[in-house]
Amino acid sequence: MAQVTLRNICKSFGDIETIHNVDLDIEKGDLCVFVGPSGCGKSTILRLIAGLEEITSGDLNMGGVRVNELPPAERSISMVFQSYALYPHMDVFRNMAFGLKIAKRPTSEINEKVNWASNILGLNSYLDAKPKSLSGGQRQRVAIGRAIVRNPDLFLFDEPLSNLDAALRVQTRMEIAQLHRKLGATMVYVTHDQVEAMTLATRMVVLRAGRVEQVGKPMDLFRRPCNKFVAGFIGSPKMNFLKVTLMRANEKEAMVRDEDGTLHHVSVEATKLSLGEKLTLGVRPERLDLVDSATDNTIKGCILMVERLGDQTLIHVKTSSSTDHCIARIPAESKVELGDTVYLKVKSHHYHLFDKDEQACHRLLPDET
Amino acid sequence: MAIVTGKRNLLSHLAAHAGILIFLALVLFPFFMIISISLRPGNFAVGSLIPPEISFEHWKLALGISYEDAHGNLINPPFPVLTWLWNSVKIATITAFLILALSTTSAYAFARMKFRFKGAVLNSILLLQMFPAALTLIAIFSIFDTLGEYIPWLGVDTHGGLILSYLGGIALHVWTIKGYFESIPVDIEEAASVDGANTFQTFLYVLLPMAVPILMVVFVLAFIGTLIEYPVASILLHQEDNLTLAVGSKLFLYEQNYLWGDFAAAAVLSGLPITAVFLLAQKWIVSGLTVGGSKG
Ligand SMILES: Nc1ncnc2c1ncn2[C@@H]1O[C@H](COP(=O)(O)OP(=O)(O)OP(=O)(O)O)[C@@H](O)[C@H]1O
Ligand SMILES: [Mg+2]
């Protein structure tokens, strides 16, 4: 039985509906990551689950019981707020201990839990400090500590690592993953960070403008995005899109032509498409290989910018078909210069193809039958 | 002063100091005058600021001590000034605490809860409060006269009744506290409710501690307001032993004989509790209690 289910949830602020018919099942033990552009309603859904906003319509169930009307205190949740929301008049220790004190836990347990959390989060030397004397990252860690000292049925994290430095972020991410495994806890986690989303999630939910676009395992979403938005949102640098026209289609392959006239063979189930349809071809930056000359499945362009990252190089290429410029991730030792004309080759099964409504065609991947 | 200032500022500094001194003189002169009158022998309102001769006769009377005048007559204190002072302090303290309790809880409701007619109620209590209290005196008298028939300790000439009548005047305090509550980010209380605290615990452990400065301000204002209140106290209290200092000290000024000296001593005395309460409250009136809770 799912721990949390959202059924047809809508939320309006005044007359403006911001969350539209969200359906979602979060299983027990899931670490469910919400991603989506700023303002798409991630925090709002979290607040609906927490009971901090009233649900306008729809049903929210937790552990099989409808909880729409239950106050937050009775939902057995803990939450890291995007704004931290620490108690400014309490020191760090009391901030973390507050929930346990309210629950009337014995002092020994409170001390043990708080010390455990402050060890993990590196807050030992700040236990007597008030929030106002802490840095943004330290405050955020206190907020995480306050959430993890308790043992709720559901953890809600709203961008909990956004203000930490790179090293601390990796370390805290690991701690959260470990915590998740050890407690078998159910978590909902909002993040803007691709790496966090891909590595932590057991399920990933992509949101756009208050709607769920796609739900699934991170790798499934990465390999089989259901539409152009999800394809563009997951992965960094983002997927390249080319404007193409359908020349030939069958159940094994679609042949499309880009604006240069080059043909591309795409391994997708293309029976639903009609000849001459304007389509979008997608390919991830790491699937583009430098070649010497134009053949089928190549993209020709002129280098606008070269970003050498050390272990790899990103080239931004101006092509005639792409809406934006194309980005290719190529080996660091490749000799490319600004202004060069390059040919980038793609394997047929590395393409994605989207119809005129931006819905993805089913990809035929070689490791699946 | 950390900021670097140029030499030219010296002149404006001097001007500012001169201005402050003039202002201080304006404020302090009447005060010194009163002290001077209370230390002068005889009952004269006018005279030099520094009395040529100092006598403690008025203070002795105010503090309830008899003294012998120049002719060897024993003069007994005409009025129980210390009892009045005690009445005033008692009534003002109880009233201030009750006002604080009532106005914080109603301010919480107005600031944080949703209910119908909230705006209308909020505005009408303020408007009703604008109605001059002096015009309601008759009504207040008859209300408490009747009330006393059913609940004697709330009737006319009881301190309970007077305190109850003061509790009607909380609209301004409700507005003050409500404004402060609204300046506190609501997500801090949301965090508390997620942490398992119920509404009352959130109010008590999270909101109130952050609002201490404004609570102190309201306490001091309510205390002073009650201590110096005259019209209502003068019609609700009659027996000499029951009076507050504000009402009682008026007795020194009867038609045929203005006892300015005794009046002045009583007046200085009534300023003492105000000073004491203010000094006590001052260290709680600090800013920045809510800093650091929320990002941005
Ligand atoms: N209390 C509110 N009143 C009115 N509109 C609101 C309120 N809270 C949120 N919204 C609107 O709901 C939408 C979603 O906001 P939300 O905070 O959930 O976005 P988000 O996905 O968390 O964004 P971010 O990544 O920037 O945190 C926004 O358009 C916002 O303007
Ligand atoms: Mg947000």
Q: Would an 8 Å CB–CB cutoff place A136 in contact with chain B?
A: yes
CA distances from B55 to A189, B10, B35, B265, B268 (A): 79, 45, 12, 12, 16
Residue B210: list chain A partners with CB under 8 A: 88-89
Residue A114: list chain B partners with CB under 8 A: none
What is the pLDDT, as a whole number, of residue A368?
Answer: 56
- Give, for ligand 1, the residue of A12, A17, A20, A40 to mutate: max count of ligand atoms closer than 8 Å to Cβ: A40
pLDDT band of B161, cuts 50, 70, 90: very high
Atom of ligand 1 at shortest range from CA of A192: 25
Name which of A78, A84, A105 to mutate to probe chain B: the one with the most chain B Cβ atoms within 10 A of its Cβ: A84
A18 pocket-lining for ligand 1 (C-beta < 6 Å):
yes
Q: Answer whether B193 sits within 8 Å of A79, measured CB to CB.
A: no
* Rounded mean pLDDT, A196-225: 94
Ligand 2: centre distance to CA A81 (Å):
9
pLDDT band of B6, cuts 50, 70, 90: low
Query: What is the per-residue pLDDT across B195-212, written as a single tens digit (0 to 9) for each?
Result: 999 999 999 999 999 999
Q: Which among B197, B289, B296 is the nearest to A89, CB-wise?
A: B289
Residue A1 has pLDDT above 80, yes or no: no
Tell me the β-bridge partners of B166: none
Q: Which among B197, B198, B293 is the nearest to A131, CB-wise?
A: B293
Q: Answer whether B209 sits within 8 Å of A139, measured CB to CB.
A: no
What is the pLDDT, as a whole number, of residue A272?
Answer: 87
CATH number of the domain at A237-368, out of 2.30.110.10, 2.60.40.10, 1.10.3720.10, 2.40.50.140? 2.40.50.140
Query: What is the per-residue pLDDT across A253-285, written as a single tens digit (0 to 9) for each?
Result: 999 999 889 999 999 998 888 899 999 999 999
Which comes out higher in pLDDT, residue A20 or B130?
A20
Pairing outcome for strands A154-158 and A77-80 = parallel
Q: Which among B192, B210, B295 is the nearest to A88, CB-wise?
A: B210
A82 pocket-lining for ligand 1 (C-beta < 6 Å):
yes
Ordered by start, the domain boundaries in chain B are 81-250+270-284
What average pLDDT is seen over chain B?
87
Residue A369 has pLDDT above 60, yes or no: no
For chain B, the three-class secondary structure string (H helix, E strand, C coil) is CCCCCCCCHHHHHHHHHHHHHHHHHHHHHHHHHHHHHHHCCCCCCCCCCCCCCCCCHHHHHHCCCCEECCCCCEECCCCCHHHHHHHHHHHHHHHHHHHHHHHHHHHHHHHHCCCCCHHHHHHHHHHHHHCCHHHHHHHHHHHHHHHHHHCHHHCCCCHHHHHHHHCCCCHHHHHHHHHHHHCCCHHHHHHHHHCCCCHHHHHHHHHHHHCHHHHHHHHHHHHHHHHCCCHHHHHHCCCHHHCCHHHHHHHHEECCEECHHHHHHHHHHHHHHHHHHHHHHHCCCCCCCCCCCCCC
Ligand 1: centre distance to CA A54 (Å):
14
A49 pocket-lining for ligand 1 (C-beta < 6 Å):
no
* Rounded mean pLDDT, B176-194: 93
User: Is the pTM of the predicted complex or chain greater than 0.90?
Assistant: no
Ligand nearest to the CA of A191: 1
pLDDT band of A353, cuts 50, 70, 90: very high
Pair A84, B293: CB distance under 8 Å:
yes
Alpha carbon nearest to ligand 1 atom 18, residue: A41
Pair A42, A149: CB distance under 8 Å:
no
Q: Would an 8 Å CB–CB cutoff place A287 in contact with chain B?
A: no
A331 pocket-lining for ligand 1 (C-beta < 6 Å):
no
What is the pLDDT, as a whole number, of residue A330?
Answer: 94
Alpha carbon nearest to ligand 1 atom 29, residue: A39
Q: Answer whether B291 sits within 8 Å of A133, measured CB to CB.
A: no
Provide residues of B within 8 Å CB-CB of chain A: 185, 187-188, 190-198, 201, 205-206, 209-210, 288-296
Pairing outcome for strands A312-318 and A298-308 = antiparallel
Share of chain A above pLDDT 90, in %: 77
A15 pocket-lining for ligand 1 (C-beta < 6 Å):
no
Cα Rg for chain A, rounded, in angstroms?
24
* Rounded mean pLDDT, A194-223: 94
Pair A186, A37: CB distance under 8 Å:
no
B81-250+270-284 placed in CATH 3.30.450.90: no
Ligand 2: centre distance to CA A37 (Å):
10
Ordered by start, the domain boundaries in chain A are 4-231, 237-368
A136 pocket-lining for ligand 1 (C-beta < 6 Å):
no
Ligand 1: centre distance to CA A352 (Å):
32
Share of chain B above pLDDT 70, in %: 97
Q: Would an 8 Å CB–CB cutoff place A103 in contact with chain B?
A: yes
Residue A67 has pLDDT above 80, yes or no: yes
* Rounded mean pLDDT, A119-131: 92
Residue B152 has pLDDT above 50, yes or no: yes
Residue A326 has pLDDT above 50, yes or no: yes
Ligand 1: centre distance to CA B118 (Å):
26
Pair B269, B64: CB distance under 8 Å:
no
* Rounded mean pLDDT, B62-88: 83
Pair A340, A303: CB distance under 8 Å:
yes
pLDDT band of B40, cuts 50, 70, 90: confident
What is the pLDDT, as a whole number, of residue A51?
Answer: 94
Residue B5 has pLDDT above 70, yes or no: no
Ligand 2: centre distance to CA A40 (Å):
8
What average pLDDT is seen over chain A?
92
Ligand 2: centre distance to CA A42 (Å):
6
What is the pLDDT, as a whole number, of residue B163?
Answer: 95
The highest-level CATH class for domain A4-231 is alpha beta
Structure ipTM: 0.83
Q: Would an 8 Å CB–CB cutoff place A113 in contact with chain B?
A: no
Scanning the structure block, which residue is given the tokens 């119809």? Answer: A355
Which comes out higher in pLDDT, residue B32 or B98?
B98
Supply A185's token pair: 């806890």
Helical packing angle, B9-39 and B260-282, nearest 10° = 130
Residue B192 has pLDDT above 90, yes or no: yes
Residue B269 has pLDDT above 70, yes or no: yes
What is the pLDDT, as a whole number, of residue B193?
Answer: 94
Q: Would an 8 Å CB–CB cutoff place A82 in contact with chain B?
A: yes
Alpha carbon nearest to ligand 1 atom 8, residue: A44
Which comes out higher in pLDDT, residue A108 or B293?
A108
What is the pLDDT, as a whole number, of residue B284?
Answer: 83
E strands of A53-98, at which residues?
Answer: 57-62, 65-66, 77-80
A39 pocket-lining for ligand 1 (C-beta < 6 Å):
yes
Residue A41 has pLDDT above 60, yes or no: yes
Residue A146: list chain B partners with CB under 8 A: 191, 195
Give CA–CA dist B58/B43, Å, rounded: 9
Number of cross-chain residue pairs from A and B with Cβ atoms under 8 Å apart: 89
Query: What is the per-residue pLDDT across A171-184, written as a single tens digit (0 to 9) for each?
Result: 889 888 988 988 88
Pair A80, A143: CB distance under 8 Å:
yes
* Rounded mean pLDDT, B76-96: 91
Alpha carbon nearest to ligand 1 atom 25, residue: A38
